[in-house]
Amino acid sequence: MSGHSYDVIVAGVGGMGSAACWHLAQRGQRVLGLERFDLGHGMGSSHGMTRIIRLAYFEGTQYVPMVRRAHELWAETGKKAGLDLLHVTGSIDIAPEGAGFVESSQRSCLDHGLVHEMLSRDEIMRRFPAFRLPEGQIGLWQPDGGFVASERAIYAHVGLAQAAGAVIRTNEPVLEWSTTAHGGVKVVTDKGTYTAGRLVLTSGAWMDTLNPALAPHLRTVKQAIGWYSVKNPEPFRMGRLPVFILTVEEGNFYGFPLWEHPGFKLGGPHFGREPIDPSQPDRTPSPRQVQFLKDALERYFPDATGEALALKGCIYTVTPDEHFVIDTMPGAEQVAFASCCSGHGYKFASVIGEIMADISITGKTRFDLAPFRLARFAGAGRA
Ligand SMILES: Cc1cc2nc3c(=O)[nH]c(=O)nc-3n(C[C@H](O)[C@H](O)[C@H](O)COP(=O)(O)OP(=O)(O)OC[C@H]3O[C@@H](n4cnc5c(N)ncnc54)[C@H](O)[C@@H]3O)c2cc1C
């Protein structure tokens, strides 16, 4: 790769891109990370302090090997950076019996030998008194789940990457890229032109602008999260409340124990999505989204109030089947991409960074990426 300014350029230094920069740099690659905004900004998909990590994975048992490695990496990277990135609280998935969510989580535990426990509605409310649940709910408890400090993890990855020699340039969006005659890439920003042997695209909600092959298959939608005052903090404190996904008739809500930011953090409903154009600056949750959260607090969390201390909007980049896309570009194997994680990707950012480094350096990874190939979408380019 001599003659290039860098071995690898990473376009988009958010959740996934920051991890890619670190994994590449620690393996001796000359890395340039280019980020559209400030580091840890609030315009993309990774802000809001925390993201749930669940090993019991109702979205599909195929994710479990990757999420296990992600869990390991969050702990390892936190130690290296001297920052608490991973907080293990246990996780609970709660849903009506027979709705399929809890049953799928249980399937992933059984397939992969994960410790877990099935709980009745009464048992859930006895152990975790923050909840008031409707009849017919059941839960799956898994002790290794928890949350990742999401912006902090971006800072940790970037700090480590820089210490290993990576160059990170913020407020410098990639405008375009092309392949070169010698099998490398040329990347153009408003400040310069760079060349490299490889390119990693981790541009999240802006992936369509850099990856035309993927563009027809992506939708960007706005999601709401809030931090709410509580009448009684005890049932919400760390050690008392696990991270959770709560499926009720209104949709899937998710929440966290009290941590750093005052207030009980509740998000959702997961499928209550509203289209958003990422290039427009407003991220304010809609009144409808705010009302959904307020109603859920009133119904299901008797010790919380509907008083929001903070509300934020954030973007999901959703694929047609809601599964990830992790692949190389049809006709340009030197370009790898990951993102578009349909609202459940952050927990994997650590391992996706590692996978991007593996693919860029060796052309392969130990994980089975077959379920995540672009070609599964009709007309996506490669068989
Ligand atoms: C409200 C909400 C709650 C969520 N909860 C969870 C959860 O609990 N657990 C979980 O696992 N997942 C969760 N997710 C999903 C998860 O957060 C996302 O899948 C993840 O953050 C995506 O990471 P990313 O690196 O793809 O995107 P980002 O972190 O947004 O990074 C993309 C980066 O690329 C930059 N960029 C874009 N275009 C360019 C360009 N042309 N040049 C340079 N830079 C560019 C952007 O500025 C951005 O910084 C949630 C998402 C939201 C919105």
Q: What is the CATH number of the domain that holds 175?
A: 3.50.50.60
Q: Is residue 202 part of a domain?
A: yes
Atom of ligand 1 nearest to the CA of 243: 8
Q: Is residue 270 part of a domain?
A: yes
CA angle 45, 48, 51 (to 5 degrees): 75
Whether 211 and 201 have beta carbons less than 8 Å apart is answered as yes
Q: How far apart are the first and last CA of the chain?
A: 29
Q: Is residue 96 part of a domain?
A: yes
Instruction: For the chain, give the longest Cα–Cα distance.
Output: 66
Q: Is residue 367 part of a domain?
A: yes
For 63, phi then psi, to 5°, come to: -80, -15
- Mutation choice for ligand 1 from 13, 203, 315, CB with most ligand atoms inside 8 A: 203
> How many whole angstroms from 204 Cα to the centroid of ligand 1?
5
Nearest CA to ligand 1 atom 26: 204
Domain check: are 100 and 223 in the same one? yes
User: How many Å apart are CA 352 and CA 23, to the nearest integer?
Assistant: 10
Domain check: are 127 and 238 in the same one? yes
> How many whole angstroms from 36 Cα to the centroid of ligand 1?
13
Specify the pTM.
Answer: 0.97
Whether 352 and 16 have beta carbons less than 8 Å apart is answered as yes
pLDDT in tens, the chain (383 residues): 445 789 999 999 999 999 999 999 999 999 999 999 999 999 999 999 999 999 999 999 999 999 999 999 999 999 999 999 999 999 999 999 999 999 999 999 999 999 999 999 999 999 999 999 999 999 999 999 999 999 999 999 999 999 999 999 999 999 999 999 999 999 999 999 999 999 999 999 999 999 988 999 999 999 999 999 999 999 999 999 999 999 999 999 999 999 999 999 999 988 778 999 999 999 999 999 999 999 999 999 999 998 999 999 999 999 999 999 999 999 999 999 997 788 999 999 999 999 999 999 999 999 999 999 999 997 665 43
Whether 63 and 342 have beta carbons less than 8 Å apart is answered as no
Structural domain harbouring 241: 91-143+219-318
User: How many Å apart are CA 227 and CA 297, to the nearest integer?
Assistant: 11
User: How many Å apart are CA 15 and CA 203, to the nearest integer?
Assistant: 10
Domain check: are 224 and 120 in the same one? yes
Domain check: are 253 and 203 in the same one? no
Question: Please, is 233 exposed, middle or buried when counting C-beta atoms within 10 Å of its C-beta (0-12, 13-18, 19+)?
Answer: middle
Domain check: are 312 and 368 in the same one? no
> How many whole angstroms from 209 Cα to the centroid of ligand 1?
15
Q: Is residue 1 part of a domain?
A: no
Whether 350 and 16 have beta carbons less than 8 Å apart is answered as no
Whether 323 and 59 have beta carbons less than 8 Å apart is answered as yes
The SS3 call for residue 231 is coil
Domain check: are 227 and 309 in the same one? yes
Helices (H), strands (E): how many in the chain?
8, 20
Residue 380 has what pLDDT? 61
Atom of ligand 1 nearest to the CA of 254: 8
User: How many Å apart are CA 201 and CA 338, to the nearest integer?
Assistant: 7
DSSP 8-state class, residue 164: T
DSSP string, 254-298: EE---BSBSSEEEE--TT--EE--TTS---PPPHHHHHHHHHHHH
Q: Is residue 194 part of a domain?
A: yes
Domain check: are 121 and 95 in the same one? yes
Whether 202 and 14 have beta carbons less than 8 Å apart is answered as yes
- Mutation choice for ligand 1 from 10, 34, 39, 46, CB with most ligand atoms inside 8 A: 46
Q: Is residue 57 part of a domain?
A: no
Residue 10's beta-bridge partner residues? 33, 200
Residue 1 has what pLDDT? 41
Token pair in block for residue 8: 């690898």
How many domains, in total, are found in the chain? 2
Nearest CA to ligand 1 atom 20: 346
Domain boundary (300, 318, 336) is at 318
Atom of ligand 1 nearest to the CA of 317: 19
- Mutation choice for ligand 1 from 51, 175, 314, CB with most ligand atoms inside 8 A: 51
Hey, how many other C-beta atoms are within 10 angstroms of the C-beta on 144? 18
Domain check: are 27 and 121 in the same one? no
Residues 6+ apart with CB under 8 A from 79: none
Domain check: are 104 and 177 in the same one? no
Residue 306 has what pLDDT? 86
Domain check: are 267 and 300 in the same one? yes
Residue 271 has what pLDDT? 75
- Mutation choice for ligand 1 from 45, 167, 191, CB with most ligand atoms inside 8 A: 45
Residues enclosing ligand 1, CB less than 6 A?
11-17, 34-37, 44-46, 48, 51-52, 173-174, 202-204, 206, 210, 223, 225, 254, 267, 314-316, 339, 341, 343-347
Domain check: are 314 and 326 in the same one? no
Nearest CA to ligand 1 atom 16: 346
Query: Rg for the chain (alpha carbons), in Å?
Result: 21
Domain boundary (318, 342, 361) is at 318
Q: Is residue 285 part of a domain?
A: yes
DSSP-based helix, strand, coil % in the chain, nearest 5: 30, 30, 40
Domain boundary (277, 293, 318) is at 318
Residue 379 has what pLDDT? 64
Residue 280 has what pLDDT? 96
Domain check: are 366 and 223 in the same one? no
Atom of ligand 1 nearest to the CA of 41: 49
User: How many Å apart are CA 315 and CA 73, to the nearest integer?
Assistant: 25
Helices (H), 180-331: 207-210, 287-300
> How many whole angstroms from 241 Cα to the centroid of ligand 1?
26
Nearest CA to ligand 1 atom 13: 344
Angstrom CA distances, 10 to 16, 141, 247, 255, stand at 10, 37, 37, 32
> How many whole angstroms from 118 Cα to the centroid of ligand 1?
32
DSSP 8-state class, residue 281: -
Q: What is the CATH number of the domain that holds 275?
A: 3.30.9.10
